């Protein structure tokens, strides 16, 4: 007997509570832990609830308890993907203000994490290196899928290492090029986050949002729907966290309120309003999502989508096209 076909009813799309995930990337000394707590403190002003810190580094975050109150989960090895997802999900029933994972890099290279798990599986799979990736990869995919459906704001810190690559020169020789700070984490996790920034050494919480180093530019992600609440040169703050949380709950945080606290009076217009004028920030966010969806289908679809973008919106979206959507479309085509 055939089961009745599932029904899929379309309805008007309206803004409601949205998932929100933030990634803070950098080497020691940039201010990742404290910056994540400041963002969470701002989110707490909007959402209420406790701030929860999932600490993989021996409880080192406790040094900030005199500045910001939070609850701590000491996460000990093994650092498997499923354990990170379980640790996060177990906090959700209390409806926390935000959940911080400091640091998700341990999922990749921590004791019992992705890389070590693979090495443990090699002899069990008859020394077949490729087969040994099956379980770690499947677990990581479940982690990523699980994170996408969590409505509580998530803040992840990632350790970073400075990397170089060989680049060919016109004379046929090669040169060593510094491509910048790279997260100790797979791109498949980093690229699923809504917003990612880099905190270099001694940054004191002031992130890099633009970089001429190709590796850093590929990692940084500042979507147009959050861009109005960011000012280049300003530290990650409670004000930013409050604006992010207001947006994520379906509200309309005023870019001017955030900008007024960090910008001179003559510069209080949001980046979107300044650049586009007649195109609203909501329209820009929608068009950016169209490009992101097209990039997931490859370069030809992205090119078609770009050709249909209104001319008034292209100046703002061009940076996102070049920095995020084109590289992602190329990845999709290469994997096909």
- β-strand partners of 72: 53
288-332 pLDDT, tens per residue?
778 888 888 899 889 888 888 888 778 878 888 888 899 999 998
Instruction: Write the DSSP symbol of residue 2.
Output: P
Least confident of 106-115, 235-244, 266-275: 266-275
Count the neighbouring beta carbons within 10 Å of the beta carbon of residue 77. Answer: 13
CA dihedral 319, 328, 107, 59 (to 10 degrees): 10
Task: Give the C-alpha separation, 210 to 217, whole Å.
Answer: 6
How high is the pLDDT of residue 166?
Answer: 79
7 vs 287, more confident: 7
Q: What is the 3-state secondary structure (H, E, C) of 283-321?
A: HHHHHHHHHHHHHCCCHHHHHHHHHCCCCCCHHHHHHHH
Mean pLDDT (whole number) for 265-286: 44
Strands 174-183 and 160-168: antiparallel
pLDDT digits (tens, 9 = 90+) for 133-149: 999 999 999 999 999 99
Q: Summarize the confidence of residues 75-100 as an average pLDDT.
A: 97
| pLDDT of 294 | 84
pLDDT digits (tens, 9 = 90+) for 253-268: 555 445 444 443 333 3
Q: Residue 40 in contact with residue 100, Cβ under 8 Å?
A: yes
Q: Is the overall model pTM greater than 0.85, yes or no?
A: no
Which pLDDT score, from 0 to 100, does residue 316 have? 77
**Which among 245, 181, 321, 180 has a CA at the least distance from the CA of 22?**
245
27-36, 170-179, 317-326, range with the lowest pLDDT: 170-179
The residue ranking higher by pLDDT, 200 or 232, is 200
Taking each helix axis from N to C end, the angle separating 326-335 and 281-295, rounded to the nearest 10 degrees, works out to: 20
Structure tokens at 219: 């990692």
As a whole number, the mean pLDDT across the chain is 86
Cβ atoms of residues 213 and 179 within 8 Å? yes
Which residues are 25's β-sheet partners?
158, 198
Taking CA 316 as the corner, what is the angle to CA 213 and CA 262, rounded to the nearest 5 degrees? 75
Mean pLDDT of 7-23: 90
Task: For residue 157, give Cα distances in angstroms to 105, 135, 180, 232, 329.
Answer: 8, 25, 17, 20, 26
> Most distant CA pair in the chain: distance in Å?
71
State percent of the chain over pLDDT 90.
57
Structure confidence at residue 317 (pLDDT): 83
Chain-centre distance of CA 179, in angstroms? Answer: 19
**What pLDDT shows up at residue 268?**
32
Say if CB 264 and CB 298 are below 8 A apart: no
Taking phi first (over 0 means left), then psi (-120 to 50 degrees means alpha), and beta for anything else, what does residue 8 get? beta
């Amino acid at each position: 007997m055939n089961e009745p076909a599932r029904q899929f009813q379309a309805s008007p799309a309206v803004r409601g509570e949205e998932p929100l995930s933030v990634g803070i990337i950098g080497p020691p000394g940039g201010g990742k832990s404290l910056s994540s707590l400041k963002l969470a403190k701002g989110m707490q002003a909007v959402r209420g609830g406790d701030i929860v810190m999932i600490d993989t580094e021996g409880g080192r975050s406790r040094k900030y308890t005199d500045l910001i109150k939070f609850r701590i989960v000491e996460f000990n090895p093994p650092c498997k993907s499923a354990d990170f997802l379980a640790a996060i999900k177990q906090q959700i029933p209390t409806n926390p203000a935000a959940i911080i994972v400091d640091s998700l890099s341990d999922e990749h290279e921590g004791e019992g994490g992705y890389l070590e798990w693979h090495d443990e599986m090699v002899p069990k799979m008859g020394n077949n290196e490729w087969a040994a990736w099956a379980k770690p990869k499947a677990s990581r995919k479940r982690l990523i899928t699980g994170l996408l459906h969590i409505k509580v704001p998530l803040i992840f810190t990632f350790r970073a290492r400075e990397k170089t690559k060989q680049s060919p020169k016109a004379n046929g020789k090669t040169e060593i090029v510094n491509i910048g700070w790279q997260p100790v984490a797979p791109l498949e996790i980093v690229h699923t986050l809504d917003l990612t920034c880099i905190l270099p050494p001694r940054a004191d919480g002031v992130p890099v949002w633009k970089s001429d180093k190709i590796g850093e530019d590929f990692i940084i992600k500042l979507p147009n729907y959050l861009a109005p609440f960011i000012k280049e040169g300003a530290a990650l703050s409670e004000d930013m966290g409050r604006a992010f949380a207001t947006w994520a709950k379906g509200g309309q945080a005023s870019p001017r309120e955030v900008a007024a606290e960090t910008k001179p009076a003559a510069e209080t217009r949001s980046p979107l309003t300044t650049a586009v004028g007649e195109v609203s920030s909501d329209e820009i966010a929608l068009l950016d999502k169209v490009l992101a969806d097209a990039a997931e289908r490859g370069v030809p679809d992205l090119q078609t989508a770009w050709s249909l973008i209104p001319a008034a919106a292209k100046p703002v979206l061009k940076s996102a096209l070049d920095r995020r959507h084109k590289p992602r479309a190329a990845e999709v085509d290469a994997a096909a």
